[in-house]
Structure 1
Amino acid sequence: MNKQLFSQRKPGIIEDEKYTRYSVFIPILTVDGAKYLLFEKRSSNLKHQPDEICFPGGKLEQGETLLACAVRETMEELSVTAGQIEVLGPGDIYLSPFRLIIHSFIGVLKDYQDTFSTDEVGEIIKVPLDYLRNTTPESYESSLVTEPPKDFPYEWIPGGNQYTWRKGTRDILFYRYDTWVIWGMTAEILKSCLELMEQYHLFDSINTER
């Protein structure tokens, strides 16, 4: 490898192999002329995060692109076809402190008939886009603290067991609509989506479509 190739390389993520990648689709619906975002309530029978509210999506499979993952998971969970899914573009990437990377795609779900797979989804939730656009999420700051294992070699670091570890925080967001609470990672992705839609004037463009 020469210096020119090195200078043009795309930086990777340190410990990338320890992160799990997911991809989600953020569906925009038209119901009686009004625009909604669609969410799922996860089935109560699921092992991980039962009854949580989320966007359609799932874990990236070997050899699959991020976009293909979002489309495949949406088709499976909502029992729709690829032709019903129009991807407008990518959302931002969510990096979780728990070694999760979530990629999102914003788009339109056409001719949706309230179908879904009962294996994964307990209920479909439609929230008016105008409501979300004009809602500021509630935010609560949570601490992130380093807790080394019992056999940690304190003698190898300056200060030993009195070493001052850096502390961090993360905001946990909540959107509330009717009896529903959208929170955590989904709320973070939602907030970013709404900001991107504002920045790129997507609200105006989708409102001209029927």
Structure 2
Amino acid sequence: MFNDYEDAIKNIKSIFENHKPESIKKINKVAVFIALIDIDGVAHIVFQKRSKIVNQSGDVSFIGGHIENKEKPLDAVIRETVEECNLDTKNISVFGESNYLLNFNGLLMYVFVGQITGINFHDIKPNEEVEKLIAIPLEEVLSCKYTVYRSDIEIKRDENFPYDLIENGRSYNFLKSYELTYFYQFKDCIIWGLTAKILNSFVDILKNYNK
């Protein structure tokens, strides 16, 4: 198939002309919603405290969840908002996207910004995946002094890893990396981890555009 140069080129060209690239490493895709809501004329950001029946129970996060097979990120974030908050699509208005997050473990998070309208915050009844909803004034978020901590990422290789096949063996200059973990502390909750990292990026965008 690939012995003859012309045949090999024709074959490879026909494959890659129509090949849709994807990540070599498996990517888990998630879509989250930075949802604003009006409470007594003041803009608030809506967060959720995760219930005991889901992963990372007790954590405070944005509304959202995993993107299903062949689902578009925008469709996923609207579906998750409808499901988790028991809303109608008419209550959801998406303005656009904030910066996405690709984590070191292969988690890709799409971030949408918008508002929930046509319903009072205290009348929203979330589903069983959500212990409760939390609304924090946007101005309080913008003025909050966060803390950040560095964690080095270490790769532990098998005991029989073939260092002898690598130039310089165990002394090879392997890639080193680190992770920054943000913490935001408010009266009603602590926001940390990926949610805090997304929040930090959102706040930076707002501040940079409003200098």
Q: TM-score if structure 2 supplies the norm length?
A: 0.84
Please name the residue that 2:7 is paired with. Answer: none
Could you report, residue by residue, the CA deviation over 1:14-68 in whole angstroms, capped at 9, with x for unpaired residues?
A: 415x01000011100110011100000000222x111111011111111211100
Q: CA shift at 1:172, angstroms?
A: 0.3
1:39 equivalenced with 2:78 (yes/no): no
Give distance in 1, aligned partners of 2:185 and 2:58.
15
Which one of the candidate residues 106, 110, 114 is aligned to 1:103? 110
Please name the residue that 1:160 is paired with. Answer: 169
Please name the residue that 1:146 is paired with. Answer: 155
1:23 equivalenced with 2:31 (yes/no): yes
Q: Which has the higher mean CA deviation after the structures are superposed, 116-125 or 70-79?
A: 116-125
Q: TM-score if structure 1 supplies the norm length?
A: 0.85
Give distance in 2, aligned partners of 1:182 and 1:12.
35
- Check conservation: 2:86, 2:127, Cα contact below 8 A: no
Pair 27,49 (structure 1): closer, same or farther in 2 beyond 3 Å: same
- Check conservation: 2:48, 2:63, Cα contact below 8 A: yes
Give distance in 1, aligned partners of 2:76 and 2:142.
27
Pair 38,15 (structure 1): closer, same or farther in 2 beyond 3 Å: same
Which one of the candidate residues 118, 123, 126 is aligned to 2:132? 123
Please, which runs of 5 or more residues in structure 1 have no aligned partner?
Answer: 202-210
When Rg is computed on C-alpha atoms for both structures, the one with the higher figure is: 2
Please name the residue that 2:6 is paired with. Answer: none
The letter for the 2-side match of 1:98 is N
1:198 equivalenced with 2:207 (yes/no): yes
Pair 32,60 (structure 1): closer, same or farther in 2 beyond 3 Å: same
User: What stretches of structure 1 move > 6 A for 4+ residues in a row?
Assistant: none
Please name the residue that 1:133 is paired with. Answer: 142
RMSD: 2.2
After TM superposition, the structure 1 = structure 2 runs for residues 47-126 of structure 1, keeping only pairs within 5 Å, are 48-113=55-120, 114=122, 115-126=124-135
Q: CA shift at 1:179, angstroms?
A: 3.8
Q: Secondary structure at the match of 1:188?
A: helix
- Check conservation: 1:77, 1:121, Cα contact below 8 A: yes
